[in-house]
Structure formats: structure tokens, C-alpha cells
Amino acid sequence: PELSLDMVRLTIDASLTTLAYAVCGTVLTILLGIIGGIFASEVWWQSIAPYHQNSQISPWWLLVRFLLAVPRAIHEMIWGLFFVNLWGLDPLTAVLAIAIPFGAITAKVFSEILDETPRQPLQNLLNSGVAAPVAFAYSLLPQAFLNLLSYSFYRFECSIRSAAVLGIIGSGGLGYQIFLSLQSLKYEQLWTFFYALVVLNGAVDFTSAW
């Protein structure tokens, strides 16, 4: 790898850009995942509408699941190309290209985590007359929190890789620098950027394990 002072500065700057895209994209992803995950879970609709517990499927649950399947089916690169045509090379392009498909994926996984969480504490609160949203927040979410947090870190790691890939379409960061190095056949610079990408992902993985 090339380790000249200018190259190190360029690598740090590109790494921070990629990290910024990943952080912003992940924050929006988690927000969309929490909201979508709650409304896409069976246990939510069974809690607020008990009559759906008798082997009936809520039409709202089906609608939410269908709506989440649409952005999930489109790769973030396609979203990035679409947003580039709308706004040009704006940072918002990379952030939304990460957040929209990843938010839908996260919502699906979050809903499955919630549905697989033991429901007895939730049922006890509901049977005691506690309002469904309050019972949901005090019983189900605390039990599922660690699993939700673990998947959030995994999605953050995915966001870093996606932010690098989106750099190829011109959003900047490590992906863009890797693309330029490939075009100019400067493989020493290429390895410098590769190592920086490995360090970023490794730091997220270490933090997640901790």
C-alpha cells in the first residue's frame, strides 16, 4: 500500500466520508426498521385488536408486509442511480439509497424478532387492563432489545460496505477513490483504500461484539 502523507490524508478523508454516509444511513434505517418492524409484526396487531387472535390475519398486517416488500426488492445501487438522476451528486443520494432498502429489510427482521419473543409478559399486562402500546413497550421490546441491537450493528456494517459501493456512482468516499485507482491502474493506492475499508468494518464488528 502507498503510505505517503498525502495518501494517508486522502484515505482518512475518504474513510470519514464513507463512515458519515453509513452512520446517517443506518440511523434512518433503524428508525424505519423500528416503526416498520412494529407494524409488520403479528403480535402488534394481535395486541391492539384481540379479535385477530382467533386464527384471523389482520388486513393491515398484510398491507404493511406488502409495502415493505417493494423497497426491499430493489438493490441500493438502483436506488442510488435513481436518486442521482433526481438530485445529482448530493450526499442525500447515498444516505437515502442506503436507508430505504435497508430500512425495509430491517423492518422485516425486527418484526420476526418481535414475533419470536415470548409473549407471556405481554399477555399478563394486556389481561390486567394495560393499554396495548404501553404493554408492548414495557414487556416485548425490553426482551427483544439485545437481538434488535445486535442486528442493528450488523446492518451498520452492511451500510459501510454499501456506502463504499455507492461511491462508484460518484457520491465520494472510499468507493470513489477505489474506482479512480482502478481506472488509473494505481494498485498501491488501491490496497491502501482496501485496508481502510477493512479497518472500518473491523471496528464496527469489534464494537458489536463488545
Q: What is the pLDDT of residues 135-153, one digit of tens each?
A: 888 999 999 999 999 999 9
pLDDT(190) > 90: yes
- pLDDT mean over 40-51: 79
pLDDT(170) > 80: no
Task: Let me know if 1 is exposed, middle or buried by CB neighbors in 10 A (0-12, 13-18, 19+).
Answer: middle
Residue 77 in contact with residue 166, Cβ under 8 Å? yes
Q: Which residues contact 112 (CB under 8 A, 6 or more apart)?
A: 41
pLDDT value at position 61? 84
pLDDT value at position 56? 64
Look-up of cell digits 443506518:
26
pLDDT value at position 9? 95
pLDDT value at position 206? 87
Other CB atoms within 10 A of residue 206 CB: 9
Helix (H, G, I), strand (E, B) or coil at 138: helix
Q: Specify the pTM.
A: 0.87
- pLDDT mean over 5-24: 94
Q: Could you give the CA distance from residue 131 to residue 124 in angstroms, rounded to a whole number?
A: 12
Q: How far is CA 138 from CA 32, 117, 130, 200, in A?
A: 20, 13, 10, 35
| pLDDT bracket for residue 15 (50, 70, 90) | very high
Q: How far is CA 61 from CA 23, 34, 128, 172, in A?
A: 30, 15, 25, 39
Average per-residue pLDDT for the chain: 89
| pLDDT bracket for residue 50 (50, 70, 90) | low
